[in-house]
Amino acid sequence: MSLVKLYDTTLRDGTQSEDISFLLEDKIRIAHRLDEAGIHYIEGGWPGSNPKDVAFFKEIKKEKLDRAKIAAFGSTRRAKVTPDKDQNIRTLIQAEPDAITIFGKTWDFHVREALRISLDENLELIHDSLEYLKRHAPEVFYDAEHFFDGYKANPSYAMQTLKAAEAANVDCIVLCDTNGGTMPFEVVEIIKAVKKEIKTPLGIHTHNDGECAVANSLHAVDQGIIQVQGTINGFGERCGNANLCSIIPALRLKMKKECISDEQLRKLRDLSRFVYELANFSPPKHQAYVGNAAFAHKGGVHVSAIQRHPETYEHIRPELVGNTTRVLVSDLSGRSNILAKAEEFNINLDSKDPVTLEILDNIKEMEHRGYQFEGAEASFELLMKRALGAHRKFFSVTGFRVIDEKRHEDQKPISEATIMVKVGGKIEHTAAEGNGPVNALDNALRKALEKFYPKLKEVKLLDYKVRVLPAGQGTASAIRVLIESGDKESRWGTVGVSDNIIDASYQALIDSIEYKLHKGEE
């Protein structure tokens, strides 16, 4: 295997994404996870641009990293200022990183319109800055900004900018698709042309405005590129950067390139979700390799096939990237879905057992009424246990009442729920207020049951979704409520359907509590 070095810029380019801002503590934690995942270079930020990045380079020196090198990012010197007098260049050196990356203009359009200097002056900026940094830093990389656009506009001048960098003996010249609009076939042809004239090792930095960032990066590697820049989950300016969560497994598993170890690859999903969590983003279900749906199977034919040979409908084994196969249950399900799901829950079902067909028919009938079990696997497990007679009834609800009252026009409504539950031979009648009728009902239900089952205090309602089903009946339409709950160990989803939103919520809440109580007995 040939080695490809991974250069992560989540902490710098990734934070330029809309709605993303990491605290200093977040950046340190992410750096540690990137190091554990085998990333070779971690770009910590631009120390000349803001105090937080200055603080990062100061604090990261106190941390022990096993493998990763910390890179600082900046620009070439300003016109008419020597490198030793340029504040940006001096700040980069003062940060004392393991590597320094600076960008320079390669597109003549930018030189004339953005820098407003001559083309020759720009070549001097590039060479002087890099040559100076090479005397003060262990490794120096040059990001050729807008290189592909620059090459298409003026190939001769774009190549001159690379030669200016090469003459400064930089360690790697990184070809950047800064606007993200270059096509894969263009990347291939342009890199071939570059390699005829440039002998310095090459890198690639792509943006995703044309939805080609990952493809462009992989094509670049196929052409001999030895450094790939990107971000975790593709965070970045506008439409984002090249997604390392897709690039890394493609390099390792598809292209047989050495980059990280098999053990580190198995941490990829956890790394992806960790970064989403610190960014306060909900992980997209359909993300390649690491998403919840990446190896989810719904159609009965698919499920039957993967049970015999997973490769029939899975391009890699999900465990290689820390993911798992999931079998979904819906009105498209066949008997194989039910058996696979039962096995997942350690419930013994026989394919010829009439109960299996009963469960399947029940699911299809319920989904016809609006139920959905893809995000409510706890409700599905309870459904199977009820069909098998393995469901224990921990409590029963005699009745409940929910009042939503607005006493004054300028005040918020007041919600109160009263509930009566029976546990064994004891009846508990209680009431509770809440932030809305559903929250009040949840509070009253817990208040009544926690006396008998203290473990319910561990349960937290994590997410609540309401979907109006397309029945064309306006406010009388059916409502589907999906609730995600969790404790210290796991998370689970439950579902309820009714033409009354309180009743639908009640069904999902009851399933959530019952699932927790059943889980405690396992």
**Residue 147, domain CATH:** 3.20.20.70
Residue 268 in domain: no
Is residue 333 domain-shared with residue 414, that is, in the same domain?
Answer: no
Q: Are residues 143 and 180 in the same domain?
A: yes
Same domain, yes or no: 164 and 312: no
From the number of C-beta atoms within 10 Å of its C-beta (0-12, 13-18, 19+), residue 454 rates as exposed
Answer with the residue of higher pLDDT: 79 or 407.
Answer: 79
Mean pLDDT estimate for the chain: 90
- pLDDT value at position 371? 80
- Asked whether residue 375 is domain-assigned, the answer is no
Give, in order, the Cα–Cα distances in Å from 184 to each of 82, 179, 290: 38, 14, 24
Q: What pLDDT is stored for residue 346 in this prediction?
A: 63
Cβ atoms of 184 and 219 closer than 8 Å: yes
- Looking at the fold, whether 363 and 407 belong to one and the same domain comes out as no
Q: Which of 209, 238, 260 is the last residue of a domain?
A: 260
Are residues 94 and 166 located together in one domain of the fold? yes
Indicate the helix (H) or strand (E) that contains 59.
helix 51-60
Residue 275 inside a domain? The answer is no
Same domain, 194 and 309: no
Which of 388, 470, 505 lies closest to 380 in space, CA to CA?
388
Domain tally, the chain: 3
User: b or e along 69-84 (b: 16 or more beta carbons within 10 Å of the residue's beta carbon)?
Assistant: bbbbbbbbbbeeeebe
Predicted local distance difference test score (pLDDT) of residue 294: 92
Residue 285 in domain: no
**Which two tokens mark 332?**
């498209």
| pLDDT > 70 in the chain, percent | 90
Q: Are 331 and 364 in contact (CB under 8 A)?
A: yes
Cα 110 to its chain centre, rounded Å, is 34
E strands present in 393-468: 396-405, 414-423, 426-434, 460-468
Q: Does 302 lie in the same domain as 230?
A: no
Domain that holds residue 360: 296-369
Q: Determine the Cα–Cα distance for residues 495 and 481; give it in Å rounded to an integer.
A: 6
Q: For 251-309, write each residue's pLDDT tens digit.
A: 999 999 999 999 999 999 999 988 988 887 878 989 999 998 898 877 667 766 766 77
Query: 360-415 pLDDT, tens per residue?
Result: 677 777 777 888 776 688 888 888 888 777 778 899 999 999 999 888 888 888 99
User: Of 260, 282, 309, which residue is a domain's last?
Assistant: 260
144's enclosing H/E stretch is strand 139-145
∠ CA 369-373-377, nearest 5°, is 150
Residues 6+ apart with CB under 8 A from 32: 63, 65
The per-residue DSSP string of 88-142 comes to HHHHHHHT--SEEEEEEE--HHHIIIII-S-HHHHHHHHHHHHHHHHTTSSEEEE
Where helices occur in 168-280 by DSSP H, the ranges are 184-197, 213-222, 244-249, 262-265, 268-279
55 and 188 both lie in a single domain? yes
Residue 386 lies in a domain: no
CA 31 to CA 38: how far, in whole Å?
11
Using the 3D structure, point to which of 243, 260, 277 is the last residue of a domain: 260
Most confident range, picked from 49-63, 318-332, 470-484: 49-63
Q: What are the phi and psi torsion angles at 141 (to 5°)?
A: -115, 145
User: At residue 423, what is the residue type?
Assistant: V
pLDDT digits (tens, 9 = 90+) for 126-172: 999 999 999 999 999 999 999 999 999 999 999 999 999 999 999 99
- What tokens were used for 323? 């993911």
